[in-house]
Amino acid sequence: MMDAHRSIDAVWKLESARIIAGLTRLVHDVGLAEELAQDALVAALEQWLESGVPDNPGAWLMAVAKRRAIDHLRRSRRLEDLDESEVAAAPEEPEQDDVLRLMFLSCHPVLPAPARVALTLRLLGGLTTAEIARAFLLTEPKIAQRVAAAKRTLAEERVPFELPGRAELAGRLSSVLEVIYLIFNEGYSATSGDDLMRPGLTLEALRLGRLLARLAPGEAEVHGLVALMEIQQSRAAARTGPSGEPIRLHEQNRGRWDRLLIRRGFTAMLRAREAGGKPGPYVLQAAIAVCHAQARTAEDTDWAQIATLYDALVRLLPTPVVQLNRAVAYGRAHGPATGLAMADALLSDPALQDYHLLPGVRADLLTELGRTAEARVEFQRAAALTQNTAERAFLLRRADALPAEDHAVRTLADAADEFLTRDTLDPQTARSYGQTLRRLRAALGDTRPLASLTADEVTRVCTTAWGHAAAKTWNRHRSALRSFAAWAEMDDLAAGLERRAESTTRTPSIAPARLDALWSSDLPLREHTLWRMLHESAAAARTVLSLNVEHLDLDDRSAQIDGTLVTWRSGTARLLPRLLDGRTHGPLFLADRRPGPARTPAPADLCPETGRRRLSYERAEHLFKQATRALDPAGNGYTLRQLKPAGQTLSQQ
């Protein structure tokens, strides 16, 4: 019986995508198609345990599922005169086209990235909700709700089950590749949890990538992604030590690299070149991986070639993370001082202010330059930012291996804690000052000697975090830093921060035509919901950001918080269920990442279901300014308070 169960499970993982895809073409509803396929699986469990697995189990499942689909269509009166023999005789499109359609459907941009990942693993990977939940360290109901919401969205948006046309193929294919690589990366370098890797996810991503390469053999970027994953996965056995601790690339035992996977990666690269065209981001990243795989020893690595490839990649994909990787390559090719200068230039990028690899890279380069005291602080800062237990322990060990500062030295964390716990501070002021100092500590490190802080560094931190904030917000943080410096008997840390004039004039609302352009663009779900709610409710941004899920009355389209009533209309009402994704408690609007252990927020600002903190006003303001720069004739971007409809009184934000 156990062998039969294993056989059925294996058949399902191999055949489920083809069956669901074929049914979706028949019933035009991916949710219904999966239900019918699951019904067929239940029938198989009942019959195969007694009769044994048939010679062609995939065909058996498809036949049973198709009969159930025909019965459903007849019951729904959609095809009253439908005859099963007519369906069987009707010309069918190639099965591979159906599977490719299903892949494009499950990765459709109308869905948020987490939903795309969960739905792809469910429909194309054949994974159960329990398996997906275990892989991402989430609850099973959470994944079930995420998958259900994704299916509902596809139905509501009437996303067709078809291959994209030539005009939109590149963008849609990019979304599919992004989902597969997201799955791979979460398995290859887990963002949270105790283990550095989750092999189940990397293997599933490889399977999906290889499947896509068979379905779209003429797409160079598809083969490039497969090559990249094959070569990266080849290092899996050498990436961790006996206790699961990370081993850096140049310290790995290359004899443990999987030569078969490397050869498969090289073959995929040849196919990418045969497909022709200008190299895209995945082909370039795969070329970098090939350079590493070709080097017999770490010393043989052609870092000059890798740096050149990163130059090309940055031109195509100028993301902060790619630029950070380029800094590492330049540090190896042209010396640590060059790499450090490039990494330091990224310190003012808001996208990297909480990214643990930036201080980690700086720490490595500082160590090579002999600046060990600074490197120690950066390793500790990186450890505070990462959510992965194994990686945090590794970074702390590296910090401990470097000479420590004199214990008598007063650190930034010590001084900040002492400053905030004074009896003379009222709770509201302490909370406000705490926001400022938490950002300073995250940017400069808890163990940073207080006396070494400079006004230039503080200016950089503030400009990165609040450079686009409203004048009132900027001045509040500036005042907090001046008070802290005066209390600590230091030079004015805010000397480089000029006070901004706070306007007393009415802030103009965004023109309706520009708002229409904003709503029609491809917006992230969280931001779209927040901005819609602010526009429809005319409530203060801080009030809306203070909302918890339990404050909401979805049927009444309203929420009560501290005596303030917030109401909204259909635009927000349509988005909220997707944003909640089954959550019942905690902040309504959540930050992108979980807080580091050194920056745990108050319980009221922490989601008990996801571990993420409440989205801050400063971050929300920054995101809105970035998103609306193209709409603003002045090119500065709009503020959240400008979302209020014309004629509304502007309350304090």
pLDDT digits (tens, 9 = 90+) for 46-96: 777 777 777 787 788 888 888 888 877 777 655 445 445 544 444 455 556
* CA distance linking residue 273 with residue 71, whole number of Å: 48
**Closest to 443 in 3D by CA, of 469, 421, 465:** 465
Query: Do residues 613 and 587 make contact, with C-beta atoms less than 8 angstroms apart?
Result: yes
* CA distance linking residue 160 with residue 104, whole number of Å: 10
Q: What are the backbone dihedrals phi and psi of residue 496, each rounded to the nearest 5 degrees, phi first?
A: -90, 5
CB atoms near residue 631 (< 10 Å):
17
Q: Return the DSSP state at 559.
A: E
Helix (H, G, I), strand (E, B) or coil at 548: strand
- Tell me the pLDDT tens digit for each residue of 246-299: 889 999 999 999 999 999 999 999 999 999 889 999 999 999 999 999 999 999
* Helices 220-233/166-188 angle, 10° precision: 0
Helix (H, G, I), strand (E, B) or coil at 232: helix
Angle at 479 between CA 457 and CA 644, to 5 degrees: 105
* CA distance linking residue 494 with residue 485, whole number of Å: 8
* Two structure tokens written together for 206: 């490889």
Pairing state between β 552-553 and 558-561: antiparallel
**H or E element: which one contains 552?**
strand 552-553
**Closest to 148 in 3D by CA, of 577, 645, 609, 490:** 577
Using a pLDDT cut of 70, give the percent of the chain over it.
91
Q: Which long-range contacts (CB under 8 A, 24 or more apart) does 298-305 make?
A: 298/249, 298/250, 298/251, 298/252, 298/254, 301/250, 301/332, 303/329, 303/332, 303/333, 304/333
Q: What integer pLDDT is reported at residue 220 of this predicted model?
A: 95
* Residues of the chain with confidence (pLDDT) below 70: 1-6, 76-96, 135, 137, 190-197, 405-407, 504-506, 595-600, 646-653
* CA distance linking residue 144 with residue 158, whole number of Å: 21
Helix (H, G, I), strand (E, B) or coil at 593: coil
Q: What are the backbone dihedrals phi and psi of residue 552, each rounded to the nearest 5 degrees, phi first?
A: -80, 140
* Two structure tokens written together for 358: 């930036």
Is the pTM for the entire model greater than 0.95? no
Angle at 298 between CA 294 and CA 302, to 5 degrees: 55
* CA distance linking residue 522 with residue 230, whole number of Å: 32
- Tell me the pLDDT tens digit for each residue of 578-587: 999 888 889 9
* CA distance linking residue 475 with residue 477, whole number of Å: 5
Query: 408: burial class by Cβ within 10 Å (0-12, 13-18, 19+)?
Result: exposed
* CA distance linking residue 510 with residue 624, whole number of Å: 12
* CA distance linking residue 174 with residue 191, whole number of Å: 22
Query: Do residues 503 and 471 make contact, with C-beta atoms less than 8 angstroms apart?
Result: yes
β-sheet bridge partners, residue 246: 240
Query: Do residues 650 and 507 make contact, with C-beta atoms less than 8 angstroms apart?
Result: yes
